Amino acid sequence: MRRITTIGAATAAVAAGTALILVAGPSSAGTRATTAQSGVAAIQAATAQAAETAQAIGLAGDEKLTVRSVISDVDGSQFVRYDRTYKGLPVVGGDLIVHRSGKVVRGVTKNVDKIAVASITPKITAAAAGAKAAKAVKLVREQAPQSDLVIYAQPGKQPRLAHDVTVKGVQADKVPSELHLFVDAITGAELGRNEHVKTGTGNGIYTGSVTIGTQAHTGGGYELKDAVGNYATDVKNQGDPNTGQGPDGTLFLDSDDKWGTGSNSDRASAAVDAQYGAEKTFDYYKNILGRNGIWNDGRGARSRVHFADGMENAFWDGTQMSYGDGANNAAPLTELDVAGHEMSHGVTENTANLNYSGDAGGLNEATSDIFGTAVEFYANNANDVPDYLIGEEINLNGNGTPLRYMDDPSKDGRSDKCWTTSTGGKDPHLSSGPLNHWFYMVSEGSGAKTINGVSYNSPTCGGAPAVTGIGRDKAEKIWYRTLSTKLTSGSTYKAARDGAINSAKELYGASSAECKGVAAAFTAIAVPAGTAACDGGTDPTPTPTPTPTPTPGGQLLKNAGFESGAVNWTGTSGPINQDTRRPAHSGSWKLWLGGNGSSATETESQTVTIPSTATSAKLTYWIRTDTAESGSTTYDTMKVQVVSGTTTSTLKTYSNVGTNATYTQVTHDLTAYKGKSITLKFTMSEDQSLQTSFVVDDTAITVS
């Protein structure tokens, strides 16, 4: 029996505080993923073309590409993200994105061009580099440094042979540190730093009375774990903040499914906050942006509460959240903003993997502020009214003021509100200011405005014209597309401007108000115009490889192969998924109806208009079926239907009788519907026992 354990349908970004690390993989057994961007088949195909791609984009023979992820767009094109090596050594900052349609390269985004160094034989030993790093880094209880030989390549600088020295210890607030310090392997000079553990702050128990996901516990009672695997454990103030290591903790259990009292005296109260934050963050990314959780594979995450003794912080370590209890273990740091911000760092590390220094560091922190804010608006909790203030409830400043202001970041007395050439030299929490400012203006516009009872007044920089907002929802989608398909580890504010404009063009059109609003807001934070522009812009000229594959025409359905998840289709949450227990016909996504083994009805539909000038129109799709039923009685059915006005016509009915587990292509003539708007609908009905699965993929409505 297969259980449907999904929540929602598509996803985006979060709120206010820190970072994480994510790797996409197959969906966990028993979970039907509804959104994702890459799969094993797509990565394998891109890997097979890696050498050809390297040659096509002009890399030298010593440079090799390794596929990190593949994002398939609704038009069939793909954004393939690569890491790079040079003579077998990893290139830090060598990551790049290739936008391709078949074998036609439509564009390349990269931090640095060709890589070359005089020698890959170091003059400075790893031991000497480690000693230098240990002396330069001031951490409590340091561990022995570890070193790897790399090529260090950053925008505008000559690539250098370097030692990547990892120094682990604990910061002053008892949060773990894993600092990468890059030492020139020829001269011994320090080239740069990058902190792996990003942290956030919070103070107390904020969510109030909320609904959270729980399930029956074996042996009786309930456990604090939802359907996708978000769950909370009590570490009982154990754990080592020096390393982030500690026990998994004890799963929270309860006899009556009523958790916590809202007071710190009940240890489950902090767990409720943590679980609520994890669930809202997961749901936001899935239902708004189409990303199936942090790892994009449908998995939830563990939240360890009551971590360590008196830790005044919270952190994401790449696999889980850990929340300290604050000073004297009196104020757990489980605020919603913390969860949203921290887990969004994880999304960043599994997409653009932005550095934590230079312009990229500011973009990194602002991205978590942006999506943390987005999660706050998505949750719309009366106890934490959504706003454009960061950390407004934790009172870390001691005077009731927030940590950061998105409408005018300079109001904190430290952050930049306008981009300058010196912005990248500041702490990422301060250099995040210009992008936070951009997000507020592109969402709400410049000038004075009151939202949810909070007064804002957002100025433009350098006398730039006033900005008209396009709406927060659109701004979130544009920035997520920029993060996932346009930015690389060393991206700058100028690259962010180009990437966001191109993302707006792709989502809403080159002449759209959305594109113009994005450009105007970047101008208003003093980021100069680059290569991208609205009203046509300057998209890269396609560079064909030796055997380009043309994109087929005449297709009316959007996301016809489901590779963008639940986007463009309307219906039941869950059937469009990457679950590996039923294969896709191509790619990794498909429409899997049924397979529940219990009473269920599922539908997915999409509306198109068949031109009146069409001489022919046809529907095609690939389908495979399997069942646990037996005999010749029909119990489970799936109908392929066309709805025109008030009339529903069934083109074909499939059932548990006569199933075929081999994909077969089916064609239906739709010419009779030319000049009409019709809805293609797949409808499944399953009885109370014994599953039947109807798996559909690679649909098309083509006209000529």
- Return d(Cα 567, Cα 291) in angstroms, integer: 11
As beta bridge partners, residue 194 has 180
Residue 97 and residue 108 in contact, taking contact as beta carbons nearer than 8 Å: yes
User: Which structure tokens are listed for 647?
Assistant: 């009339």
Q: Are 381 and 340 in contact (CB under 8 A)?
A: no
Do residues 367 and 395 touch, judged by C-beta distance below 8 A?
no
Helix (H), strand (E), coil (C) string for 405-464: ECCCHHHHCCCCCCCCCCHHHCCHHHHCHHHHHHHHHHHHCCEEEEECCEEEEECCCCCC
Give the catalytic positions in this structure: 342, 429
The helix (run of H) or strand (run of E) holding residue 99 is strand 96-101
The string of DSSP letters for 532-597 reads: --STTTTPPPPEE-SS--PPP--B--SSTT-TTTTTT-EE-SSSEE--TTS--SSSS-EEEEE--S
- Are 387 and 452 a contacting pair, CB within 8 Å? yes
Token representation of residue 456: 């804002």
Choose among 342, 362, 246, 252: nearest CA to 294: 342
Record the tokens describing residue 683, joined without a space.
């409808």
Residue 531 CB-density burial (10 A; 0-12 exposed, 13-18 middle, 19+ buried): middle
The CB-side HSE value for 545 (13 A sphere, CA atoms) comes to 23
Of 295, 289, 290, 175, nearest to 230 (Cα)? 295
Q: Is residue 314 classed as helix, strand or coil in its secondary structure?
A: strand
Q: How many CA atoms lie within 13 A of 134 on its CB side?
A: 13
Query: Residue 666 in contact with residue 621, Cβ under 8 Å?
Result: yes
Which residues neighbour 580 within 8 Å (Cβ) at sequence distance 6 or greater?
A: 26, 27
> Hey, what are 285's tokens?
């990314």
Residue 197 contacts residue 315 (beta carbons within 8 Å)? yes
The letter for the amino acid at 38 is S
In contact, 76 and 135? CB cutoff 8 Å: no
Of 577, 535, 631, 590, which is closest to residue 292 (Cα–Cα)? 577
SS3 category, 66 = strand
| Alpha helices (H) along 467-556 | 472-485, 493-508, 513-524
Which pairing describes strands 89-92 and 146-152: parallel, antiparallel, or unpaired?
parallel
Measured CA to CA, the distance from residue 447 to residue 459 in angstroms comes to 6
CA distances from 576 to 25, 298, 396, 694 (A): 17, 12, 44, 12
Helices (H), 250-357: 267-289, 336-349
Integer Cα distance of 434 and 363 in angstroms: 9
Token pair 């653009």: residue = 352
